[in-house]
Amino acid sequence: MLDKINSLKTEIEGLTAANLDEVEVLRIKYLSKKGLVPALMNDFRSVPADQKRTVGQAINDLKTMATDKINGLREALSSAADDFSGVDLTRTPSPVKLGTRHPLSIVREEIVSIFRRLGFNIAEGPEIEDDWHVFSALNFAEDHPARDMQDTFFINRTPDVLLRTHTSSVQSRVMETTQPPIRIICPGRVYRNEAISARAHCFFHQVEALYVDKDVTFADLRQTLLYFAREMFGSDTKIRLRPSFFPFTEPSAEMDISCNLCGGKGCSFCKHTGWVEILGCGMVDPNVLDACGIDSKVYSGFALGMGVERITNLKYQVKDLRMFSENDTRFLEEFTAAH
């Protein structure tokens, strides 16, 4: 019996394991209910009475030694598994690509930068607006089509609360609270109840500018537009103004620039006209100034507005407006060099 105990002792002393699973196998083999060490207790019954004390002590020592050995193997392997020395725990498990700025953000910042150089300050306002600031203060008639549900998102069917259809509402808010001189640029998101397609979307981005002071003329507007066009599209860019109509400006105009793809010679992009329309503008209607508390007999001003998506299309030839809001990384990666 003692020889068997000593043999198991020698065997257990030499135990090794490569991982925690192997340690568990050894535990089951030697220490489980049907393991080799507990099995010695069955043989203990046949040991002569005068040897029971010696053999019993030897079995207990063997069990203690086996337990310590297996626990030692488990602790050693656990410590090795938890050893993170030399490992940077702040790193992500896989490489993360650096992001790029959205093309609309790139173009918007460029537009704002150009007008900042002319002394314009940024003004912002709420996207959820009231009828007064979006329509009434801007000389929209009660039966104007823009008030129709087909064009405007009203909140909870309340006619006085809506998602702004243009950032001109920021202009009316500033004119209500500020006396001239006023020189602001208003970038922001706007909403219109339109079917989504390659050429239209239910939300898009605008940048509008307003200048109100004494003796502001249409010549000031034209010179501002020419400066903007040449800074944005190149020093050779030409502009032309065509008569138009907007409720909040009089006279009103739409501005075209010479096609930056063909240089004004005519191509498919400009429909072979040599010109591309980019924005609307005009002199602030006196009714708008008076409605906002500014004396139209003393002050005059001009306003202009453009769609950021439109300018981005001209710079980067993006033909589908939906691509701007789909967050397709393949599309966004094309603008890595445009920072």
Percent of the chain as helix, strand, coil, to the nearest 5: 45, 20, 35
Amino acid residing at 168: S
Distance CA 151, CA 194 (A): 7
Amino acid residing at 153: F
Q: What per-residue confidence (pLDDT) applies to 157? A: 65
> Strand order of the sheet with strand 158-163?
128-130, 158-163, 154-155
Per-residue tens of pLDDT for the chain, all 339 residues: 777 777 878 888 888 888 888 888 888 888 888 888 778 777 767 777 777 788 778 778 878 888 888 888 888 877 766 656 666 777 777 766 666 788 889 999 999 999 999 999 999 999 898 888 888 888 887 777 766 655 778 787 666 888 888 899 999 999 999 999 999 999 999 888 877 776 777 888 999 999 999 999 999 999 999 999 999 988 989 999 999 999 899 999 999 999 877 777 877 777 888 898 999 999 999 999 999 999 999 999 999 999 998 888 888 877 777 888 887 777 877 777 655
Q: What per-residue confidence (pLDDT) applies to 123? A: 94
Q: What per-residue confidence (pLDDT) applies to 320? A: 77
Residue 178, both tokens: 């500020």
Asked whether the whole model's pTM tops 0.85, one would answer: no
Distance CA 275, CA 277 (A): 7
Cβ neighbours around 257 below 10 Å, total: 25
The torsion of the CA quartet 320, 324, 327, 328, rounded to 10 degrees, works out to: 30
Q: What per-residue confidence (pLDDT) applies to 110? A: 94
Q: Report how far apart, in Å, the C-alpha atoms of 138 and of each of 158, 169, 221 are.
A: 20, 8, 19
Q: What per-residue confidence (pLDDT) applies to 52? A: 74
| CA-wise closest residue to 74 among 28, 111, 136, 22 | 22
Distance CA 67, CA 58 (A): 14
Q: Which helix (H) or strand (E) holds 252?
A: strand 249-258
Whether omega before 93 lies within 30 degrees of 0, making that bond cis, reads no
Do residues 106 and 327 lie in contact, with contact meaning Cβ atoms separated by under 8 Å? no
The b/e string for 88-126 (b: 16+ C-beta within 10 A; e otherwise) is eeeeeeeeeeeebebbbebbbebbbebbeeeebeebebe
Amino acid residing at 75: E
Q: What per-residue confidence (pLDDT) applies to 82? A: 61
The b/e string for 158-189 (b: 16+ C-beta within 10 A; e otherwise) is eeeebbbbbbbbbbbbbbeeeebebbbbbbbe
Q: What is the DSSP string of 98-122?
A: PP---HHHHHHHHHHHHHHTTT-EE
- DSSP type of residue 97: P
Q: What per-residue confidence (pLDDT) applies to 267? A: 78
- DSSP type of residue 237: -
Q: What per-residue confidence (pLDDT) applies to 102? A: 86
Helical pair 2-13 and 52-81, crossing angle rounded to 10 deg: 10
